[in-house]
């Protein structure tokens, strides 16, 4: 039963992800990206990581993509405007970035001992990610310093964004 | 058996309870607003006009379903459904009676926020796909407004979670049944929650996305017939969910102070009636506010959300966390 749902969500994720990067229309691309986030949330649910599933929908599909959509609609992008960005250079850069990201992910999983070499898959620790508490404990105790550094970076980015949009500081 | 019961529960709630309540709410809104303006309101169809919603529904169904030539057809047709589905799904975790909820999830309250954060898509896409100035402005306003107030709304729930120590809706209600209604210690938090939920449901005084004096009808200007009715229904179901959440999080849910419900199905039924009664009171408040307060200007709306409610809710989280730490906490 769970197997069927996994393949359903995985197929949805792959298809919507591909559509998100190939659609010419910026609004459709954003919407397909939102669908892919929901598919990811579905896979999290199958792993019994309910908290992650809900946060995935809440933050990515519910907030970040809506902001994207808001900006796209405000700018009213047309296809001609996007032609500037075409060309092989951008494609090569994109593939390199994606490969780099995937490599980093695999490396981190191996280092953290999550990689099961025998089956060639990530070890599942379902019971450890389902509960809010078991997620919060390492985040706010063991890894509190990286966590705070990340939030500090975000804060700096917000201040920077406000500063850029303010034409003149009085 | 469990699965069968869930299927029955879902179909009854999604196709009977919520739409009927929404229809009655439309009737109540028209009657109450009429009384507030010294009119009578709809009173011809059925006793006291109670069958008016049925007449309205028939009218919606038999009106010509116009799809204007200049719209993005796929998105235009999709938008009303995108608007209604999250409204229905969000109700799933509401603990509507003792021990009863369609989905009794450990992350219940977060699910409500996750699902209702999807509601903005229907409105935004509807506004964009209509390909008209007024609709687009309405859609853009809706997305900015709902994102802004989601923050204050989400943060205003954190103190509740700090006090109760659980994300499960039933646990939150049970805690209030055992101790005290959370509105008593967390009154300012509830005020922020209420104001934000009015903004989230696009209701007056925050109905900028469909401000008829500026935007004709905002995001649903180009919609007619049943598609318009779906937007309409979604808005009213959002109101029901928002009221039910206010009851469950701050006003003790199905519990009454000093009252112990008898065991068995009788007690469950009575607790359900208590919950319905409290939710009804909040729905009346929605109507009352709408016909009392004028609309905010858009910059005032943003000002209130970002410069007042957001900092205020952060301070309240800090204060509540301090209080919980001082008093020893719940877990």
Determine the pLDDT at residue B191: 92
Residue linked to tokens 């009664």: B277
Helices and strands in chain A: count of H runs, count of E runs = 9, 2
Determine the pLDDT at residue B325: 84
Closest alpha carbon to A44 in A130, A137, A133, A136: A130
Exposed e or buried b per residue across B178-212, where buried means at least 16 C-beta atoms within 10 angstroms of its C-beta: eeebbbeebeebbbbbbbbbbbbbbbbbbbbbbbe
pLDDT digits (tens, 9 = 90+) for A32-70: 999 999 999 998 888 777 888 888 888 888 888 888 888
- B46 φ/ψ sector (left φ>0, alpha ψ -120 to 50, else beta): left
Cα torsion through A146, A149, A153, A154, rounded to 10: 70
Are the Cβ atoms of B114 and A54 closer than 8 angstroms? yes
Determine the pLDDT at residue A11: 92
Determine the pLDDT at residue A97: 94
Assess if residue B40 is contained within a domain. Answer: no
Mutate to test the interface with A, among B86, B118, B135, B167 (most CBs of A within 10 A): B118
Closest alpha carbon to B55 in B229, B202, B200, B198: B229
Is the pTM higher than 0.90?
no
The whole-angstrom separation of Cα B60 and Cα B248 is: 34
Q: Which of A51, A61, A74 sits opposite B140 (nearest CB)?
A: A74
Are the Cβ atoms of A63 and B150 closer than 8 angstroms? yes
pLDDT digits (tens, 9 = 90+) for B23-34: 888 888 888 888
Question: Percentage of chain B surpassing pLDDT 70?
Answer: 99
Are the Cβ atoms of B117 and A55 closer than 8 angstroms? no
Contact A43, A13 (CB under 8 A): yes
Inter-chain Cβ pairs, chain A and chain B, closer than 8 A: 69
Assess if residue B304 is contained within a domain. Answer: yes
Contact B41, B295 (CB under 8 A): no
Determine the pLDDT at residue B16: 83
Assess if residue B104 is contained within a domain. Answer: yes
Q: Which of B114, B125, B136 sits opposite A62 (nearest CB)?
A: B114
Determine the pLDDT at residue A36: 92
Determine the pLDDT at residue A86: 67
Q: What is the ipTM of this complex?
A: 0.79
Q: Which of B75, B110, B143 sits opposite A58 (nearest CB)?
A: B110
Expressed in angstroms, the distance from the first to the final Cα of chain B is: 35
Question: Which residues, given as ranges, of chain A have pLDDT below 70?
Answer: 1, 76-86, 113-131, 168-170
What residues have CB less than 8 Å from B150, skipping those under 6 apart? A62, A63, B113, B117, B196, B200
Determine the pLDDT at residue A53: 86
The SS3 call for residue B331 is coil
The whole-angstrom separation of Cα B176 and Cα B182 is: 7
**B107 shares contact with chain A (CB less than 8 Å):** yes
Number of domains composing chain B: 1
**B114 shares contact with chain A (CB less than 8 Å):** yes
The whole-angstrom separation of Cα A39 and Cα A56 is: 10
Strands A121-122 and A115-116: antiparallel
Assess if residue B14 is contained within a domain. Answer: no
The whole-angstrom separation of Cα B241 and Cα B18 is: 9
Determine the pLDDT at residue B233: 87
Assess if residue B57 is contained within a domain. Answer: no
Question: Which residues, given as ranges, of chain B have pLDDT below 70?
Answer: 329-331
Assess if residue B26 is contained within a domain. Answer: no
The whole-angstrom separation of Cα B15 and Cα B4 is: 16
pLDDT digits (tens, 9 = 90+) for B189-243: 999 999 998 888 887 788 777 777 777 777 778 788 888 888 888 888 889 989 9
Stated as kind and residue range, the H or E segment containing B26 is helix B18-36
Residues of chain B in contact with residue A50, where contact means CB-CB under 8 angstroms, are 105-107
Assess if residue B88 is contained within a domain. Answer: yes
Assess if residue B49 is contained within a domain. Answer: no
Determine the pLDDT at residue A129: 53
Residue-range definition of the domain harbouring residue B250: 63-327
CB atoms within 10 A of CB A4: 8
């Amino acid at each position: 039963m769970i197997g069927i749902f996994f393949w359903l969500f995985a197929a949805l994720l792959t298809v919507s992800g591909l559509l998100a990067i190939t659609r010419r229309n910026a609004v459709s691309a954003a919407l397909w990206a939102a669908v892919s986030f929901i598919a990811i949330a579905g896979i999290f649910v199958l792993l019994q990581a309910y908290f992650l599933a809900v946060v995935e929908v809440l933050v990515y599909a519910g907030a970040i993509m809506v902001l994207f959509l808001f900006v796209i609609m405000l700018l009213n992008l047309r296809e001609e405007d996007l032609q500037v960005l075409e060309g092989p250079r951008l494609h090569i850069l994109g593939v390199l970035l994606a490969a780099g990201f995937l490599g980093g992910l695999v490396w981190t999983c191996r280092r953290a001992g999550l990689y099961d070499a025998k089956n060639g898959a990530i070890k599942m620790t379902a019971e450890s990610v389902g509960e809010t508490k078991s997620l919060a404990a390492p985040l706010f105790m063991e890894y509190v310093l990286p966590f705070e550094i990340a939030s500090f970076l975000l804060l700096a980015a917000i201040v920077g964004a406000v500063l850029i949009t303010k034409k003149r500081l009085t | 058996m469990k699965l069968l019961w869930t299927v029955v529960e879902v179909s009854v709630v999604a196709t009977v309870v919520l739409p009927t309540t929404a229809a009655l709410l439309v009737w109540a809104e028209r009657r109450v607003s009429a009384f507030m303006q010294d009119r009578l309101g709809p009173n011809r169809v059925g006793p006291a006009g109670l069958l008016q919603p049925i007449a309205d529904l028939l009218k919606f169904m038999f009106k010509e379903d116009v799809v204007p030539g200049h719209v993005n057809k796929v998105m235009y047709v999709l938008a009303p459904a995108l608007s209604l589905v999250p409204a229905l799904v969000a109700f799933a975790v509401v603990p509507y009676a003792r021990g009863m909820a369609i989905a009794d999830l450990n992350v219940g309250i977060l699910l409500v926020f996750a699902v209702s954060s999807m509601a903005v898509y229907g409105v935004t896409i509807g506004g964009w796909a209509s390909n008209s100035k007024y609709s687009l402005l309405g859609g853009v306003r809706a997305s900015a407004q709902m994102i802004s107030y989601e923050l204050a709304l989400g943060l205003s729930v954190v103190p509740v979670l700090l006090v109760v120590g659980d994300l499960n809706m039933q646990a939150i209600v049970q805690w209030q049944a055992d101790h005290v209604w959370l509105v008593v210690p967390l009154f300012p938090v509830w005020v922020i929650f209420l104001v934000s939920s009015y903004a989230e449901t696009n209701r007056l005084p925050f109905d900028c996305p469909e401000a008829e004096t500026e935007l004709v009808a905002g995001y649903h200007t180009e919609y007619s017939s049943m598609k318009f009715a779906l937007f309409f229904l979604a808005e009213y179901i959002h109101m029901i969910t928002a009221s039910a959440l206010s009851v469950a999080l701050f006003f003790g849910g199905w519990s009454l102070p000093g009252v112990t419900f008898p065991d068995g199905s009788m007690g469950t039924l009575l607790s359900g009636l208590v919950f319905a009664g409290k939710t009804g009171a909040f729905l009346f408040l929605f109507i009352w506010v709408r016909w009392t307060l004028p609309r905010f200007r858009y910059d005032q709306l943003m000002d209130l959300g970002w410069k007042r409610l957001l900092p205020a809710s952060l301070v309240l989280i800090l204060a509540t966390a301090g209080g919980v730490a001082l008093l020893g906490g719940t877990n």
